[in-house]
Amino acid sequence: MMSHLMIYAPQKFPLYLDPGTGSIIIQAILAAVMGVFIFLGIYRKKVSKFLRGLFKKNKKTEEFEPVDNDDDNED
Amino acid sequence: MTTKTERVAASFRDPSGFLFLRGGKLYRQVNLFYRPDYDMLMTSGLYEALIKKKRLVSHIELDLPPEIPKLAYKIIEPERVGFISYPYEWSFNQLKDAALTTLRIMKQALNYGMILKDASAYNIQFSQGRPVLIDTLSFETYREGEPWVAYRQFCQHFLAPLALMRYSDIRLNQLLRVYIDGIPLDLASRLLPWRTRLNVGILSHVHLHANTQQKYAGERIDKIQQRSISKNAMLGLLESLRSTVKKLTCQPAGTEWADYYGDNNYTNAAFNHKQSLVKEWATELKPATVWDLGGNTGAFSQTVAQAGAHSICFDIDPAAVDRNYLDCKVRKEERILPLVLDLTNPSPALGWANQERESLLDRAPANLVMALALVHHMAISNNVSLPQVAEFLSKCGKHLIIEFIPKEDSQVQRLFATRLDIFDQYNRSGFEQAFSQDYKILKSVPIEDSLRILYLMERK
């Protein structure tokens, strides 16, 4: 199955690390799957924010994401 | 007059530039090859953003003669990190924080149109209690669609050792000593218990990754048809790595020393007296750097840190080191760096020509060495003669605070529980005689309410 996947080859610029053929293939598959979750997550946040806005119009809204001490969500 | 210059042996792989020492100062030559990426790092706002978050060492550009003029674009002087440590000397949470920092930097770089072109654990160092990237030349322009070339390196340097420490054995980070470019994923996959296949992150990034590597071993990437990885897909991959790493938690139980202070024959009076002596002597000496050998969870490192010193607190027990690290994080302690080290087999020089990673003694000397409640372990448990102990410690630093624990002490008696006492010279006069070869004994004070003696010595 994997041999039919199409992968972008990084051949336009020199690499000093060997990224590994297998590593690039699995990365493309995982990224495609996980990218879908990110895409869905963005819409989940938007819908959630919209709904919360409807029900808490007069209340000060809180952040949907819990505050992460390690500032993962700050960038 | 010429100034002596020397290339830094660890800095040779990346053609973008290299580190060199000149007149005792550390510089980095940025090569013309890297010019577009360096300019983008500096003008895009990424450099300032990383500095603001304390995730990258700062640097200044200098108008100095280059080391190799025909290749040179710029000479920069990076801020120096106090003590270079290596991933095989880090506890679980240190490696985990280094991994998360690498991912945060990668995500931040993407926001500015750049990407990390390598993800080596050796590019991360602990400075003022935080993991920071020390390689200014690790960034390159992101071209949407292209994969993350450092993905494999990230998995080998960070994810595989963390998973092995969490699920197999905490001591397996020592594999990083053997495999300098990270733990091969096929090996990690074989060593991890089967149940890790139920963890989606580890299944994906270690087990399936290893299988795919094996399947495509030796195949050229340019023979495979092309497909791009969108930026969202890349963010998805990074988020998956982040959550996999973040969810790995480890609390090694039942290790040797983490409960030492709660399980020994010290009275409070003895502990307090010892602490006040250490404080008094450290305040007198004002050492900039201290090596606290066998420092356990760092009680005495704290004492010298309060006196203004930067202390590297070494211990053989990964649980004690991890506890120390987590405590330092909570206290925002910037002057203590806890590290895992077996003094009977300290970190050797490793890598190409045995020069890439320095041995422990290559990183000496410290101004002050502390060996508290330690000498009996070296002399009796490890059968090292007292003159050998003295010679080794004298190579570590100029001044020494050392505690002699006589045979009558219950901690030493425990060592004799299963073996013969063949140590005729292990007594106070034998100890003083042995150490007098390398040291001048400045002070010796019996510790109250104990049989122990604390010495302050200076290397001859």
For residue range B110-126, what is the model confidence (pLDDT) as tens digits? Answer: 999 999 999 999 999 99
> What pLDDT band is residue B4 in, cutting at 50, 70 and 90?
confident
- Chain A residues with CB within 8 Å of chain B CB: 2, 5-17, 19-28, 30-39, 70-72, 74-75
Sign of the CA dihedral running A57, A62, A63, A64: negative
Mean pLDDT (chain B, rounded): 93
* Cα–Cα dist B419/A52, whole Å: 71
Q: Which range (B7-16, B151-160, B326-335) has the least confidence?
A: B7-16
User: Rounded to whole angstroms, what are the CA distances from A73 to A63, B100, B103, B231, B326?
Assistant: 11, 12, 12, 17, 22
CB-side neighbour CA atoms (13 Å) of B254: 2
B104 chain-A contacts, CB cut-off 8 A: 71-72, 75
**Distance, in angstroms, between B372 CA and closest chain A CA?**
35
pLDDT tens digits, A8-62: 444 444 567 778 889 999 999 999 998 887 778 777 777 888 888 877 765 544 4
Helix, strand, coil percent content, chain B, rounded in steps of 5 = 45, 20, 35
| pLDDT average, residue stretch B66-85 | 95
Angle at B51 between CA B123 and CA B176, to 5 degrees: 15
**Distance, in angstroms, between A68 CA and closest chain B CA?**
11
What's the first-to-final CA gap in chain B, in angstroms? 33
pLDDT tens digits, B293-314: 999 999 999 999 999 999 999 9
Given this model, what pLDDT does residue B427 score?
94
Given this model, what pLDDT does residue B169 score?
94
Q: How many CB atoms lie within 10 A of CB B188?
A: 27
The residue among B35, B224, B228, B240 with the most chain A CBs within 10 A of its CB, best to mutate, is B224
Given this model, what pLDDT does residue B455 score?
98
**Strand B310-315 relative to strand B336-340, pairing:** parallel
* Cα–Cα dist B315/B401, whole Å: 17
> What pLDDT band is residue B1 in, cutting at 50, 70 and 90?
very low
* Cα–Cα dist A68/A70, whole Å: 5
Contact partners, residue B168, CB within 8 Å, separation at least 6? B191, B192, B193
pTM: predicted TM-score of the whole model, two decimal places = 0.90
Of B113, B198, B124, which is closest to residue B154 (Cα–Cα)?
B124
Inter-axis angle of helices B92-111 and B318-331, nearest 10: 50
CB-side neighbour CA atoms (13 Å) of B395: 10
ipTM of the predicted structure? 0.80
> What pLDDT band is residue B96 in, cutting at 50, 70 and 90?
very high
| Ramachandran bin of B449, using left for φ above 0, alpha for ψ from -120 to 50, beta for the remaining angles | left
* Cα–Cα dist B186/B206, whole Å: 8
CB contact under 8 A, A10 and B149: yes
pLDDT tens digits, B206-221: 999 999 999 988 777 6
| pLDDT average, residue stretch B446-459 | 96
Given this model, what pLDDT does residue A39 score?
75
* Cα–Cα dist B244/B248, whole Å: 7
Given this model, what pLDDT does residue A46 score?
79
Is the CB of residue B172 less than 8 Å from the CB of residue B144? no
With 80 as the cut, is the pLDDT of residue B251 above it? Answer: no
* Cα–Cα dist A16/A32, whole Å: 25
Nearest to B213 among A20, A39, A72 (CB): A20
Q: CB contacts < 8 Å between A and B, how many?
A: 145
* Cα–Cα dist B453/B451, whole Å: 7
Q: Which range (A2-6, A51-55, B389-393) has the least confidence?
A: A2-6
A16 chain-B contacts, CB cut-off 8 A: 13-16, 117-118
* Cα–Cα dist B176/B161, whole Å: 8
CB contact under 8 A, B229 and A8: yes
Of A57, A75, A14, which is closest to residue B101 (Cα–Cα)?
A75
Of B72, B148, B64, which is closest to residue B103 (Cα–Cα)?
B148
Given this model, what pLDDT does residue A67 score?
37
> What pLDDT band is residue B277 in, cutting at 50, 70 and 90?
very high
Is the CB of residue B433 less than 8 Å from the CB of residue B450? no
Here the tokens at position B413 are 């008696």
Is the CB of residue B43 less than 8 Å from the CB of residue B139? no
> What pLDDT band is residue B264 in, cutting at 50, 70 and 90?
low
* Cα–Cα dist B232/B244, whole Å: 18
Here the tokens at position B2 are 């010429």
Look-up of token digits 């218990």: B193
* Amino acid identity for residue B268 in this structure: N
Nearest to A75 among B14, B104, B117 (CB): B104
Of B259, B249, B345, B350, which is closest to residue B296 (Cα–Cα)?
B259
